[in-house]
Structure 1
Amino acid sequence: MRLASLIAAATALAALTACSQPTAEKAPAAAAEARTLAAVDLDQPLRVLGTEPFWAVEITPAGLTYSGIDRPEQKAANPGPALQGTVAVWTTETEAKAPLVVTLTATDCSDGMSDRTYPLTAKVEIGGESLTGCAAASAAIEKAGESGRVE
């Protein structure tokens, strides 16, 4: 009888332990939650761009790449954005040790050169320079025409 009681207690303990373990289904669902700003998925490749002078920052999961006319290309790790309300901020450092901060705000933006309207307004600070421009998903920019909304 004592052996039967021990087996019953062990079975009950195993059942309770199994109930308290996180299921494999719950973990991926939380990780799959997309981070968005103005309906733009921030985990997909983004293009941030500006004029006068012409410059761009490509944001991919692999990293950030800053480039421009008569400017050396600079690469940085992608730490992911810090989101707060309608603002997303990437804070990193280029391989040349220059601080790089990209701030995207969920407000419409015009680049001043085309008739496009972008869903995000951008500010880029690199080294001691501060640049303003627009941003959207890279795929949306590639399929957009020279006028209209970039979606």
Structure 2
Amino acid sequence: MRLLALATLSSLALVSCSPSGDTEIEASEVAAPPPTLAGVDLSQPVRALGTEPFWSLELNGTDMVYTSPEPGELRAAQPAAVVQGTVTMFEAATADGQPMNVTLTATECSDGMSDRTYPLTALVEMGERTLTGCAASTAAIMSAGESGPVVTPAQPAG
């Protein structure tokens, strides 16, 4: 009986000294930093755009939305970014099965129509159609002037 009590107390002492499963942090639970390319946070909305013909493609975190004067709007679910060095790819398909692939490259880009310079070059492939243009965070594009670099606005401290 005395031996059983001693074994029970030893077990309790070991359990109380070992970390509980609730406080252990698994390596897979540690939040990875958001993917970035040329300083552009790819977890935030990104816009690619081009001229001749005019088009834009918004990566809003949920969908990839292509717009142009014609054929109108095309939409596909936005997959996770595949980042490989200085290139990021998004490969998806529209609801009717048309491929919609976007490749962003960390290369400074000029749209050819303005004096703006963008941090990313964009290649958009939809079926047989291939479009080239520039890209940056949507916030940077919306806040940029008519000339100069298109950069994400600084966040207020605090």
TM-score, L = length of structure 2: 0.86
Q: Distance in 2 between matches of 1:86 and 1:14?
A: 49
Which letter maps to 2:137?
Answer: A
Alignment-derived partner of residue 107 in structure 2: 107
Q: Larger % of helix: which?
A: 1
| CA positional deviation for 1:10 | 3.8
| CA positional deviation for 1:4 | 3.0
Bigger radius of gyration among the two:
2
Alignment-derived partner of residue 54 in structure 2: 54
Q: Distance in 1 between matches of 2:21 and 2:92?
A: 41
- 8 Å CA contact 1:74–1:95 kept in 2: the answer is no
Q: Secondary structure at the match of 2:6?
A: helix
Alignment-derived partner of residue 5 in structure 1: 7
Alignment-derived partner of residue 130 in structure 1: 130
Q: Distance in 1 between matches of 2:17 and 2:54?
A: 63
CA RMSD of aligned residues (A): 2.0
Q: Distance in 2 between matches of 1:119 and 1:94?
A: 27
Identical-pair percentage:
46
TM-score, L = length of structure 1: 0.89
The number of residues matched between the two structures is: 148
- Provide structure 1 residue ranges, at least 5 long, that are not aligned to the other structure: none
In the TM superposition, 1:80-95 aligns within 5 A as: 80-95=80-95
Q: Distance in 1 between matches of 2:133 and 2:20?
A: 53
**Does residue 71 of the first structure (1) align with residue 71 of the second (2)?**
yes
